[in-house]
Amino acid sequence: MQIAPTFICNVMSVKKRSGETVAFESKKIYNAIKKAALATNEISDERVVQITNDVLSDLDNNFMARTPSVEEIQDTVIRKLMDAKAYKTAEAYIIYRQKHSEIRNANVDAIEIIESYVGGSNWRIKENANIGYSIGGLILRTSERVTAEYWLNMFPAEIADAHRSAAIHIHDLGWLTGYCAGWSLRELLYEGFNGVPGYLQCQPARHMATAISHMVNFLGTLQNEFAGAQAFSSVDTYLAPYVRIDNMSYADVKNAMQTLVFNCAVPCRWGTQTPFINFTFDWTCPEDLKPQRPFVGKKQVDFTYGDLQNEMDMINKAFIEVMTEGDAQGRPFTFPIPTYNITNDFPWDHPNVKPLFDLAAKYGIPNFQNFLNSDLNPTDVRSMCCRLRLDVRELLKRGGGLFGSAEKTGSIGVVTINLARLGYMHKGDREGLFRDLERLMNMGREVLEIKRRVITKHMENGLYPFTRRYLGNWNHHFSTIGVNGANEMVLNFTDGKENIATPFGKKLVLDLMDFMRERLVKFQEETGNLYNLEATPAEGCSYRFAKTDVKNFPDIITAGTREAPYYTNSTQLPVNFTDDPFVALEHQEELQRKYTGGTMLHLYMGEPVSSGEAAQKIVRTIFENYKIPYMTLTPTFSICPKHGYLPGRHEFCPKCDAELGITPDDVSNKA
C-alpha cells in the first residue's frame, strides 16, 4: 500500500473566488498536479511530490503577509511546472483549470448570456470586426453559444480541450456552415437566380439593372449559408456585355455601380452584419475569355469579351469613383472589398489608373494581386472549378487573396495554431517545438475532417439549399490551417533575445512554414481532401490567445499591454516595426510566398500616401521586383463625423477646432 506524502506549508488560508476565506489544504495542490501528470505520463510520482513542495515553498515566501487567492496559487503551480520543464503536464493542468472554471459556470442561463453582451464584457463581441453592437448581434451571439457547444461536443475531448485552453482556435464555432466561397458570376448571369424549390425563381438577366439585382440578392442569400467571405471574380469582364446591350452612358454605368456598392454595404446579414463580399476586377480582358462570345438572357451575342475593353473601362472608372467618394458622410465602404489584377498587359498609362491609385492613396481600399512576378496564374480563378483530377501530392493555391476565392472553391473551415505559446513552452528546444506543432496540426486535421463530413451530410439533407444548387459538393473546398503570433513565438523561444525580424528568428519561422507545408501535403495524401496554409486574420483570436496565456503564464511575452495583450498577426512584422515599405518587403517576401491560402501583405504607411502617383510607383515597383502574391497599402487617415475624411492621424478634427476657435497650441496643451 502506497503511503500518501505529507507536506508542510505555513500558509493557513486561501481566498476563494467568491471572496470567502477557507482553510488552506496542501493536499489539493498535490492531487491537482498528480491528476495532470497521470493524463500525460510525463513525470513520476517523485517529481510530482518535488514540484508540489516547490509550489508550497514559493507560497511560503510570497504570502507571509497576506492570504493568497485560488488564482494566485494556480498561477504558481503552472510556473513551477514550467520551471521543471514539465510542459505537457503544465498544459494538462491548464485544461484542468479551464474545465473547473466551466463546471463553476455550468449553470449559465439566458440572463448571463444577454447581460454579458449588453454590458460589453464578452471578448467575442470583438472577435469579428464587421459585427456592430445591436439587437441583431445579440441574437447572433445567443445562437452562437448553442452552436459552439454543439461543435465542441462533436470533437474528441482532447481537441475540445485544446480549443478551450487556447492552444488552438477553431474559427466560427458558432456557425454550422462552411467558411468562405467564391462563385461563378458568369454562371449566375447565364442561368439566373433560381433552381431552389419553394423560393423565388428569377430568369437570367437581360439588362444591367437586373444583373446588379441578381448579384446583390445572390451574395446576400449565400452569405447566410456561410460564416465568411463571398467572392465574385472578373466582375468588370462579365458585366461589360450589359453596358453594350443597354447602350449605357457613363452616367448610367456610374449609377449602376452606386446601386451595386450601396446595396452590398447594407447590414442585412444575420447579426446585423454587412455581407462579407470580395470583388476581383480583371482591368484588361483575360486571354482565355477574349475569343468567347457572352450570353445575355441565355442568347449568345455577336461580339466577344475581347471586344468590350471600352465597356470594362467604364465599369472600372465608375466603380473607383463610387468607392473614392464614400457614403453620404464621406466614410469609406468596408464592403465590397475590391481586388485588382496586375497582369503583364496592365496599361499603366491608362486614364483610369490615376483614380485607381488615388483611391489606394486615400483609403488603402484596393487589394492588388500580382500576376507580374509571382507564381499566380490569371486563369486559375476559372480553372479550379473544373479541375476534376486534383493532384493531392502538391499544395494548390486557393486564389483570391485573404478574403477572396477563385470560382467554385473556398474553405470549409479554419483552425489557427497558437505559435506564441509553443515558443514559450519549448524555450530553446527546437525539436520539442516542432513535435508539439505537429501534434496540434494533427488536431486541426481531425477538426476539419469531422467538419467536412458534417456539413456534407447537412448539404445533402438540404440545410444549405442555395449552396447545393450553385456548388453541389465540397470537393474543391480547402481545409485551412493557419498560424498566429510567429513574432512572439521567436521572442519567447529565445527569452526575448531574438524576434521575427532577426536572421535567426526569420530562419526559424521559415523552417516552421516548410514543416507545415510538408505536413499538409501528407494530410492531402491521407484524406484525399485539399489543404492549405493561411495567414488567418487574427481579430478576436489574437486577443483570446494572448489573454489566456497571460493568465496562465504571467511572464509570457506578448504585444500590447498586460491589460490588453495580443499577438502579432500570422508571420507579420510587429506593428510599428517600420514605416518603410521596402524594409517590410525585404523581410516578408519569402514568408508571404509560403502561404497557399489567404494572405495579404499590409504595407503600413506611417503617414498619408502623398499622391496617387506615389501609390502607383510603390505598387508597380513592388510587383516588378518582388514575388509578393497579394498586397495592400495601408495609409493613415481619420474620419470626422462632420467633415469626413482627414489625411493623417488626428485625435481631434482640425476643421472643427478651427470653427470653434481652438488653436494647435490649445490642442497640444489639452493633450
Per-residue pLDDT tens over the stretch 245-281: 999 999 999 999 999 999 999 887 766 788 899 999 9
Three-state DSSP class for 169?
strand
Nearest to 26 by CA among 53, 2, 65: 53
Q: What is the C-alpha end-to-end distance of the chain, expressed in Å?
A: 71
User: 406, 380 in Cβ contact below 8 A?
Assistant: yes
Do 99 and 115 lie in one domain? The reply is no
Instruction: For residue 562, give the amino acid letter.
Output: R
Q: What is the CA radius of gyration of the chain?
A: 27
Last residue of one domain, picked from the residues 342, 374, 399? 342
Q: How confident is the model at residue 101 (pLDDT cuts 50, 70, 90)?
A: low
375 within some domain: no
User: 617, 647 in Cβ contact below 8 A?
Assistant: no
Which residue do the cell numbers 470583438 mark?
Answer: 126
Do 149 and 296 lie in one domain? The reply is no
- Whether the per-residue pLDDT at 163 is higher than 60: the answer is yes
Show Cβ contacts of residue 132 under 8 Å, excluding neighbours closer than 6 positions. 267, 272, 273
Report d(CA 396, CA 596) in Å as an integer: 6
- Mean pLDDT taken over the chain: 86
Which residue do the cell numbers 505537429 mark?
Answer: 438
Report d(CA 201, CA 192) in Å as an integer: 8
User: 242, 211 in Cβ contact below 8 A?
Assistant: yes
Instruction: For residue 406, give the amino acid letter.
Output: A
Question: What is the four-CA torsion angle of 420, 421, 424, 429, rounded to 10 degrees?
Answer: -90
437 within some domain: no
Query: 288: domain range?
Result: 185-342
pLDDT at 141: 78
- Whether the per-residue pLDDT at 666 is higher than 50: the answer is no
Query: Mean of the pLDDT values across residues 608-617?
Result: 84
Do 205 and 319 lie in one domain? The reply is yes
Report d(CA 294, CA 540) in Å as an integer: 44
Report d(CA 47, CA 37) in Å as an integer: 10
Region of residue 112 (phi > 0: left; psi between -120 and 50: alpha; otherwise: beta): alpha
- Whether the per-residue pLDDT at 529 is higher than 80: the answer is yes
Report d(CA 419, CA 337) in Å as an integer: 29
Which residues on neighbouring strands pair with residue 645, listed in sequence order?
Answer: 639
Cis peptide before 347 (omega within 30 of 0): no
Do 224 and 283 lie in one domain? The reply is yes
264 within some domain: yes
Do 146 and 56 lie in one domain? The reply is no
Lowest mean pLDDT, pick from 1-15, 311-325, 327-341, 455-469? 1-15
User: How many alpha carbons lie under 13 Å from residue 576 in its C-beta half-sphere?
Assistant: 2
325 within some domain: yes
- Helices 87-104 and 26-40: crossing angle in degrees, nearest 10, is 120
Do 271 and 245 lie in one domain? The reply is yes
Nearest to 165 by CA among 425, 347, 356, 404: 425
Report d(CA 144, CA 269) in Å as an integer: 15
If one counts the domains in the chain, the total is 4
Instruction: For residue 468, give the amino acid letter.
Output: R
281 within some domain: yes
272 within some domain: yes
Nearest to 182 by CA among 372, 416, 467: 467
Alpha helices in 500-598 (DSSP H): 503-527, 540-552, 581-592
92, 301, 377, 426 from 41: Cα distances, Å: 11, 72, 50, 18
> C-alpha angle 18/123/410, rounded to 5°?
145
Last residue of one domain, picked from the residues 327, 342, 357? 342
- Whether the per-residue pLDDT at 167 is higher than 90: the answer is yes
Q: How confident is the model at residue 637 (pLDDT cuts 50, 70, 90)?
A: low
**Higher-confidence position of 611 and 106:** 611
Q: In the structure grid, which three cell numbers stand for residue 181, read together?
A: 466561397
Do 92 and 128 lie in one domain? The reply is no
Do 92 and 119 lie in one domain? The reply is no
Report d(CA 150, CA 164) in Å as an integer: 14
SS (H, E, C) 40-79: HCCCCHHHHHHHHHHHHHHHHHHCCCCCCEHHHHHHHHHH
pLDDT at 407: 76
pLDDT tens-digit profile of 348-378? 999 999 999 999 988 888 999 888 877 666 6
Do 126 and 238 lie in one domain? The reply is no
Nearest to 437 by CA among 364, 356, 540, 509: 509
Report d(CA 424, CA 651) in Å as an integer: 37
Instruction: For residue 459, give the amino acid letter.
Output: M
Last residue of one domain, picked from the residues 293, 322, 342? 342
Do 202 and 268 lie in one domain? The reply is yes
CA 43 to chain centre: 38
422 within some domain: no
Do 67 and 147 lie in one domain? The reply is no
Burial of 299 (0-12, 13-18, 19+ CB in 10 A): exposed
Do 219 and 299 lie in one domain? The reply is yes
Query: Mean of the pLDDT values across residues 106-135?
Result: 62
22 within some domain: yes
Question: Which percentage of the chain shows pLDDT scores above 90?
Answer: 59
User: 341, 369 in Cβ contact below 8 A?
Assistant: yes
